[in-house]
Amino acid sequence: MTEQELSRRDFLKRAAGAAAALGAASGLGVKLPEALAAKGAKKPGMGYRVLGRTKLKVSELGMGTIVTGNAAVIQRAVDLGVNFFDTAECYREGNGEIDLGKALKGRRDKVIIATKWHTDGHTPAEALLRSLDQSLSRLNMDHVELIQIHGADNEVQVTGDELWEAFTRARQAGKVRFNGLSTHGNRAVIRAAIKNGRFDAVLPAHNAMTADSVGPAIREAHKAGVGVIVMKALQPAHEGKGSEAFQGLRGNPYQQAIQWVLKDPAVATVIVDMPTFDELEEDYAAVAGTMSEAELREFETAVAIVSAGACHLCGACTGQCRAGVKVADIMRYLLYHDGYGDRGRAVGLYRALPASASAARCGDCTQCSVVCPWGVPVRERLEKGHAVLA
């Protein structure tokens, strides 16, 4: 078995045996601002934070449903105090919503539900409303608290009047309460949502690898009253599977990845897919505790080491390819494949790309036009992506 093929449990077993401390932070740039890093220890148990101007009190640990569908695990999460659940119509071809709805039958009053709809910025309101009705049918619910644009990567998607009309009509009908968007770390989209004033929450990809890129944008959102939900918090731990730096940590890197994000008071909740009882209990323990300042610095140092040449999901490559290859999307699919070990999902998403947007186009290119600010060898990664996912 290669290090890249390790499961979360296997990785932790190996890491637990290593006791070498990494020492103080090395100045490599992956740090929380000092004012945030100084946040003190918390009492055991689930914590709750206010989701911006929605005033909803959400659990610090939220549950995603891309993989998670086991009713017993979902119900156990509710018992532990998880009250925020994130889903989408495309997760497992609709089964993410179906399974969540079944698991929460009789517990609807205890939870806050967020789902998503797709828009290119021009999608008619009627189509969006049909999508919402289909989601509610799968969930077997009459409303959701939050409806979000799925994977916004440009400002046009955020400013479209059809979207606002659809949301307004859905809210008036009592089918939704608040308006949000998800984005894979795109700072311009987050800032456009803040400026637009129509969004109550944002869901970016953010973790210790995006401290300097996405971090400032989410704090701007928080200051403006826009609630911040974070996904992809575990990316540093996934990237660190094959790294001696991570295997030398004294703590659990998956728990520390969550704790690092929650050090920032701008973040209301971190959503994580937790398909097993073990992963649920492990992540619950993360929000019920805290890491010491020494462990925080060691973790940041380890992240800085594995970040060199790694994709940060920052979105800087979006739109750079002159041939129209969806570079940022393919990089994310590779993370699902290499980091999460979720080949099925990665392959499915990649093969759903139109041929004109896949890395097959790279074979016709004499010189890659994409420049990554983190030093990722873009063409090499794209070619690997096509080789393993096509």
- Residue 332's nearest CA partner among 344, 319, 315, 320 is 315
Distance in angstroms (rounded) separating the CA atoms of residues 234 and 117 = 25
Identity of residue 357: A
- Residue 386's nearest CA partner among 359, 365, 352 is 359
- DSSP letters, 165-229, are HHHHHHHHTTSEEEEEEEESS-HHHHHHHHHH---SEEEEB-SGGGTTTTHHHHHHHHHTT-EEE
DSSP 371: -
Reduced DSSP (H G I as helix, E B as strand, rest coil) percent helix, strand, coil of the chain, to 5: 50, 10, 40
The H-assigned helical ranges of the chain are: 8-16, 34-37, 71-79, 95-103, 125-139, 155-159, 161-172, 187-196, 215-223, 235-239, 244-247, 253-262, 277-288, 293-307, 327-338, 343-352, 378-389
CATH of region 3-307, choose from 2.40.50.140, 3.30.505.10, 3.30.56.10, 3.20.20.100: 3.20.20.100
Cα angle value 166/55/180 (rounded, 5°): 30
Task: Identify any residues that bridge with 48 across adjacent strands, giving them in sequence order.
Answer: 59
Q: How does pLDDT run along the chain (390 residues), one tens digit per residue?
A: 444 345 666 655 545 444 344 444 344 556 777 667 655 555 578 999 999 999 999 999 999 999 999 999 999 999 999 999 999 999 999 999 999 999 999 999 999 999 999 999 999 999 999 999 999 999 999 999 999 999 998 899 999 999 999 999 999 999 999 999 999 868 899 999 999 999 999 999 999 999 988 999 999 999 999 999 999 999 999 888 878 888 888 889 999 999 999 999 999 999 999 999 999 999 999 999 888 899 999 999 999 998 888 888 877 888 889 899 999 889 889 888 887 788 988 899 999 999 999 999 998 888 888 988 888 889 998 999 999 999
Q: Are strands 112-117 and 84-86 parallel, antiparallel or unpaired?
A: parallel
User: What's the CA dihedral at 177, 180, 182, 185 to 10 degrees?
Assistant: -140
E strand spans, the chain: 48-50, 57-59, 61-64, 84-86, 112-117, 144-149, 176-183, 201-204, 227-230, 269-273
Crossing angle between the packed helical segments 187-196 and 215-223, to the nearest 10 degrees:
10
**What pTM, to 2 d.p., does this model score?**
0.85
Q: In this predicted structure, what is the pLDDT of residue 33?
A: 75
E strand spans, 126-239: 144-149, 176-183, 201-204, 227-230
The H-assigned helical ranges of 21-70 are: 34-37
Q: In this predicted structure, what is the pLDDT of residue 3?
A: 40
Crossing angle between the packed helical segments 343-352 and 378-389, to the nearest 10 degrees:
100
Distance in angstroms (rounded) separating the CA atoms of residues 178 and 56 = 10
Residues of the chain with CATH 3.20.20.100: 3-307
Distances (CA, A) of 386 to 63, 135, 151: 31, 32, 22
Tokens of 144: 């959701």
Identity of residue 2: T
Q: In this predicted structure, what is the pLDDT of residue 174?
A: 98
3-state SS assignment for residue 177:
strand
Distances (CA, A) of 130 to 117, 137, 166, 167, 180: 10, 11, 10, 12, 18
